[in-house]
Amino acid sequence: MRIAILGTGVVGKALGQAFITLGHEVKMGSRDAKNEKALAWAKEMGPRASAGTFADAAAFGEIVLLATLGAANESALTSAGAANLRGKILIDTTNPLDTTGGGPPKLAVAGNDSGGERVQRLMPEALVVKAFNTVGAPHMFRPDFAGGPPDMFICGNDPGARKKVASLLADFGWGVVDVGGIESSRYLEPMCIAWVLAGIHGGNWNQAFKLLRK
């Protein structure tokens, strides 16, 4: 499949490499078609990787992953273009982090709204699915934990899109916990902060959620 990654940070690179490893084609999008990080990444990843603008990537991808900093979501998506995202699965991996306080991050959007809902409102014709927001980049692909696989919590309004993302997550080595519509981002984004606080207080970032079931 053709995969677009919007964003050139550690999450974008980790997910891009994962899709390349699984045999997909990946275009990494950024503000500038000549973004050095994106070009260097594509060169390193080989012939199935490429780089371009947000719009180039979104046009290319059959599935698009939003992996910008949460605060940059709106401008990245606007640059990507609604027409390039229409009818496509848009995986929102971001969290609306407020890191201005000096202490641990808080949520800049919470309560009766969420980052995931904002993405969906901004791109109403995209099939937004929240995923990859409750674990750190090093463990997004083939997570290796005793007692695993861990579970990725996902939500999104389109059941078919959730099912497709669940299938991709299985390819990545994850179990999946489906918590319904995109409004449930209100509960998954706080789980990111719980994960961060557990890392801070436990002194260990090699951690991932699982929902034990019987």
- Report phi then psi at 128, rounded to 5: -80, 130
Closest to its own copies by CB, 83 vs 197, is 197
Q: DSSP label at 142?
A: S
- Answer yes or no: are the C-beta atoms of 29 and 5 closer than 8 Å: yes
Q: In 3D, which of 129, 150, 153 has the Cα closest to residue 139?
A: 150
182 counts as binding its own copies under rule CB under 8 A: no
Helix (H) or strand (E) holding 152: strand 151-156
- In the window 125-164, what residues touch its own copies (CB under 8 A)? 144-148, 150, 153, 155
Size of the site for its own copies (CB under 8 A): 42
Asked if the bond preceding 149 is cis, omega within 30° of 0, the reply is: yes
Please choose, out of 9-17, 61-69, 103-111, 164-172, the segment that lies near its own copies by the rule CB under 8 A: 103-111
CB of 146 to its own copies, least distance (A): 6
| Amino acid making up residue 118 | R
102 counts as binding its own copies under rule CB under 8 A: no
CB of 182 to its own copies, least distance (A): 12
33 counts as binding its own copies under rule CB under 8 A: no
Distance of CA 162 to the CA centre of its chain: 13
CB of 67 to its own copies, least distance (A): 22
Q: What does the alpha-carbon distance between residue 181 and residue 178 come to, in Å, rounded to a whole number?
A: 9
111 counts as binding its own copies under rule CB under 8 A: yes
207 counts as binding its own copies under rule CB under 8 A: yes
Distance of CA 82 to the CA centre of its chain: 18
47 counts as binding its own copies under rule CB under 8 A: no
Q: How many CB atoms lie within 10 A of CB 13?
A: 20
Q: Is 67 helix (H, G, I), strand (E, B) or coil?
A: coil
191 counts as binding its own copies under rule CB under 8 A: yes
167 counts as binding its own copies under rule CB under 8 A: no
Q: In 3D, which of 9, 51, 10 has the Cα closest to residue 27?
A: 51
Please choose, out of 23-31, 41-49, 104-112, 164-172, the segment that lies near its own copies by the rule CB under 8 A: 104-112
Interacting residue ranges for its own copies, rule: CB under 8 A: 104, 107, 110-112, 144-148, 150, 153, 155, 177-180, 184, 186-191, 193-195, 197-198, 200-202, 204, 206-214
